[in-house]
């Protein structure tokens, strides 16, 4: 696998969780995975380093690679401090680093140079998101006739179509891309180059992270200009729902919770609620403990519904609920939540930043998890919430649609609350409904238990990936 994030080495979002967990799930099915990842600032793991020279256009770049073992999985860290020893993975919130094309071309070339050095060890190469998009491109063009790499089938996973790796056409020369990589059936995108389009065009099988999203991205509403490219590959496009890592996200053993709980000891969840209120700087009064607590852990971007929430300041403050928000992202959304917390200091708490421990405590201590995404390829937090007895309130899109089953008052079935229209009214109406049902303790308990007993493990999904790898290895080629 080639990826730009992997838990616990480097993470900005769910990609890291998936690349951290899928190799382990594949290992339990008997497969061996090597993952190639940049060595970003602060990644200390991996001792013996060996040099690896990589060509970028006219320049030879000297990198160092080191290996880290994670059970049967090997992680290969590509070390090139000018490219990767930086404060952020992709750039500050004001914009991406200007040389991201070169940084991730370096990752792709280093991964293939590494692979070539291993001999014919690999059955399939799996790239994740645009940052790995050049891997299938390079394999199908400049490496097509290689003894070592020419045979390698490719699988490419789209975790989020909104990020397309689009760069000025002048990069083609600087990166030394083959003319076959540049055509309109390849990386060319409205006069520029898209790493994502290259990944799609040259991979044998394309996957995305939920069945619903696989269908959505073939429409103009969710395709972000790629719907034509994707409908053209519809036969090779497969939606596989992400799993969650049952070891990392398990309320019965979670070290970030003050007291473990599970379906048989659900009353012990109250200890996490109290600890969360305290951690958020809110007093754990009887009132506060009785009032439903709504948690949010998210990148603060419009994709996640923060533009809707930002129109709702007074309405949120007026609800019979406490809000605890953890996230970072666009300055305007950070300011909105800071202002709301200042206006309702007893009801709203916000932590701007990235804090893994607090993310776990929110899943453990909240009653409701709010995820009103405009689009959501899969989404992991709603599944963490289900497992932690924290009832999700979500919009019916992508992986949220595939994992959260709406509460049906007539039968009591369901595991969460779902709204369809991407409007502030629909969001508030659904949140109010959830807050009402919260007061009906037996209905609420049923909702919690339905979530906690849903299978969100990686096992079934890892088997689907194996089928996709087999299909890529035996099936017809892409572009
Ligand atoms: P996305 O990848 O689009 O951000 P996902 O729901 O797939 O959305 O995954 C988000 C992951 O990142 C989850 O593991 C979530 O807990 C984590 N996360 C997001 N923001 C923060 C934060 N501010 N602090 C800690 N963890 C965060
Ligand atoms: C992306 C998506 C998210 C998905 C994650 C892991 O970041 O936005 O929905 O869960 O990738 O696949």
- 314 and 225 within one domain: no
Q: What is the torsional sign of CA 450, 451, 453, 459?
A: positive
Each residue of 387-427: pLDDT tens digit? 999 999 999 999 999 999 999 999 999 999 999 999 999 99
Distance CA 17, CA 11 (A): 8
pLDDT reading at 462 higher than 90? yes
Each residue of 54-94: pLDDT tens digit? 999 999 999 999 999 988 899 999 999 999 999 999 999 88
Whether 38 maps to a domain, the answer reads yes
pLDDT reading at 383 higher than 60? yes
Which ligand places an atom closest to the C-alpha of 15? 2
CATH code of the domain covering residue 165: 3.40.50.2000
Q: How many structural domains is the chain composed of?
A: 2
Whether 249 maps to a domain, the answer reads no
| Residue 478 pLDDT grade (very low, low, confident, very high; cuts 50, 70, 90) | very low
Whether 36 maps to a domain, the answer reads yes
Whether 162 maps to a domain, the answer reads yes
**Span 451-463, mean pLDDT?**
97
Q: Ligand 2 pocket check: which of 10, 242, 300, 383 to mutate, most ligand atoms within 8 Å of Cβ?
A: 242
| Residue 475 pLDDT grade (very low, low, confident, very high; cuts 50, 70, 90) | low
At 307 the pLDDT is 97
Read off the tokens for 88.
């952020």
Q: Angle formed by the axes of helices 441-452 and 424-438, to 10°?
A: 110
The structure's pTM equals: 0.96
**Span 463-477, mean pLDDT?**
86
| Sequence-separated contacts (24+) of 55-64 with Cβ below 8 Å | 55/109, 55/176, 56/102, 56/105, 56/106, 56/109, 56/174, 56/175, 56/176, 57/173, 57/174, 57/175, 57/176, 58/176, 61/106, 63/106, 63/110
Going by C-alpha positions, the residue among 299, 358, 243, 248 that lies closest to residue 90 is: 299
Residue 150 CA, ligand 2 centroid: distance in Å: 31
CB 167 within 8 A of CB 198: no
Read off the tokens for 23.
């190799």
- Ligand 1 within 6 A of CB of 329: no
- Ligand 2 within 6 A of CB of 298: no
- Ligand 2 within 6 A of CB of 295: no
- 208 and 65 within one domain: yes
CB 351 within 8 A of CB 280: yes
How do beta strands 73-79 and 154-158 pair?
A: unpaired
| Residue 268 pLDDT grade (very low, low, confident, very high; cuts 50, 70, 90) | very high
- 378 and 238 within one domain: no
- 145 and 81 within one domain: yes
Residue 466 CA, ligand 2 centroid: distance in Å: 20
Read off the tokens for 279.
């951690």
pLDDT reading at 443 higher than 90? yes
pLDDT reading at 45 higher than 50? yes
- 224 and 346 within one domain: no
Distance CA 236, CA 206 (A): 6
pLDDT reading at 477 higher than 50? no
Whether 2 maps to a domain, the answer reads no
Q: Ligand 2 pocket check: which of 89, 132, 209, 240 to mutate, most ligand atoms within 8 Å of Cβ?
A: 209
- 274 and 236 within one domain: no
How many CB atoms sit inside 10 A of residue 222's CB? Answer: 21
How many CB atoms sit inside 10 A of residue 287's CB? Answer: 10
pLDDT reading at 121 higher than 90? no
pLDDT reading at 118 higher than 80? yes
- Average pLDDT across the chain, whole number: 96
- 422 and 276 within one domain: yes
- 238 and 120 within one domain: yes
Q: Ligand 1 pocket check: which of 359, 373, 399 to mutate, most ligand atoms within 8 Å of Cβ?
A: 359
∠ CA 73-79-82, rounded to 5°:
150
| Residue 175 pLDDT grade (very low, low, confident, very high; cuts 50, 70, 90) | very high
Whether 253 maps to a domain, the answer reads no
pLDDT reading at 303 higher than 80? yes
∠ CA 111-137-170, rounded to 5°:
100
- 321 and 210 within one domain: no
- Ligand 1 within 6 A of CB of 379: yes
- 315 and 191 within one domain: no
| Residue 430 pLDDT grade (very low, low, confident, very high; cuts 50, 70, 90) | very high
The parent domain of residue 323 ranges over 263-456
Whether 256 maps to a domain, the answer reads no
Tell the residue nearest (CA) to atom 12 of ligand 1: 13
- 316 and 218 within one domain: no
**Span 224-248, mean pLDDT?**
97
- Ligand 1 within 6 A of CB of 359: yes
Whether 125 maps to a domain, the answer reads yes
- 221 and 304 within one domain: no
């Amino acid at each position: 696998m080639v990826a730009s994030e992997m838990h616990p080495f480097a993470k900005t979002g769910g990609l890291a969780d998936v690349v951290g967990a899928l190799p382990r799930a594949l290992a339990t099915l008997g497969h061996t995975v090597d993952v190639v990842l940049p060595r970003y600032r602060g990644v200390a793991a991996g001792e013996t380093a060996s040099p690896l020279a990589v060509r970028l256009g006219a320049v030879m770049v000297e990198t160092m690679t080191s290996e880290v073992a994670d059970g049967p999985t090997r992680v290969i860290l590509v070390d090139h401090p000018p490219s990767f020893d930086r404060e952020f993975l992709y750039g500050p919130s004001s914009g991406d680093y200007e040389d991201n094309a070169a940084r991730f071309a370096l990752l792709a070339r280093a991964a293939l140079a590494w692979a070539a050095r291993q001999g014919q060890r690999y059955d399939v190469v799996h790239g994740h998101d645009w940052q790995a998009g050049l891997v299938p491109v390079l394999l199908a063009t400049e490496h097509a006739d290689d003894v070592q790499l020419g045979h390698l089938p490719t699988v490419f996973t789209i975790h989020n179509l909104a990020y397309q790796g689009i760069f000025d056409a002048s990069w083609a020369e600087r990166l030394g891309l083959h003319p076959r990589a540049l055509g309109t059936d390849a990386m060319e995108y409205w006069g520029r180059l898209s790493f994502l389009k290259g990944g799609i065009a040259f991979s044998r099988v394309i996957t995305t992270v939920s069945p619903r999203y696989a269908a959505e991205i073939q429409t103009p509403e969710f395709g972000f200009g790629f719907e034509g490219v994707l409908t053209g590959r519809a036969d090779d496009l497969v939606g596989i729902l992400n799993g969650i890592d049952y070891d990392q996200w398990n309320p019965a053993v979670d070290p970030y919770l003050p007291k473990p709980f599970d379906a048989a000891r659900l009353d012990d969840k109250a200890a996490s609620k109290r600890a969360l209120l305290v951690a958020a700087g809110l007093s754990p009064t009887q009132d506060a403990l009785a009032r439903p607590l709504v948690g949010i852990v998210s990148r603060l971007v419009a994709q996640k519904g923060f533009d809707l929430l930002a129109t709702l300041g007074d309405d949120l403050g007026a609800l019979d609920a406490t809000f605890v928000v953890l996230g970072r992202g666009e300055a305007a959304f950070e300011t909105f939540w800071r202002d709301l917390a200042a206006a309702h200091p007893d009801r709203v708490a916000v932590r701007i930043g990235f804090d893994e421990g607090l993310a776990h405590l929110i899943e453990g201590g909240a009653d409701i998890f709010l995820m009103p995404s405009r689009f959501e390829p899969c989404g992991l937090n709603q599944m963490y919430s289900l497992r932690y007895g924290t009832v999700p309130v979500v919009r019916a899109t992508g992986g949220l649609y595939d994992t959260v089953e709406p509460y049906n008052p007539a039968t009591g079935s369901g595991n969460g609350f779902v709204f369809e229209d991407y409007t502030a009214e629909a969001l508030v109406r659904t949140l109010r409904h959830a807050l009402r049902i919260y007061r009906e303790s037996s209905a609420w308990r049923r909702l919690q238990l339905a979530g906690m007993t849903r299978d969100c493990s990686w096992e079934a999904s890892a088997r689907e990936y194996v089928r996709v790898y087999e299909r890529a290895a035996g099936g017809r080629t892409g572009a």
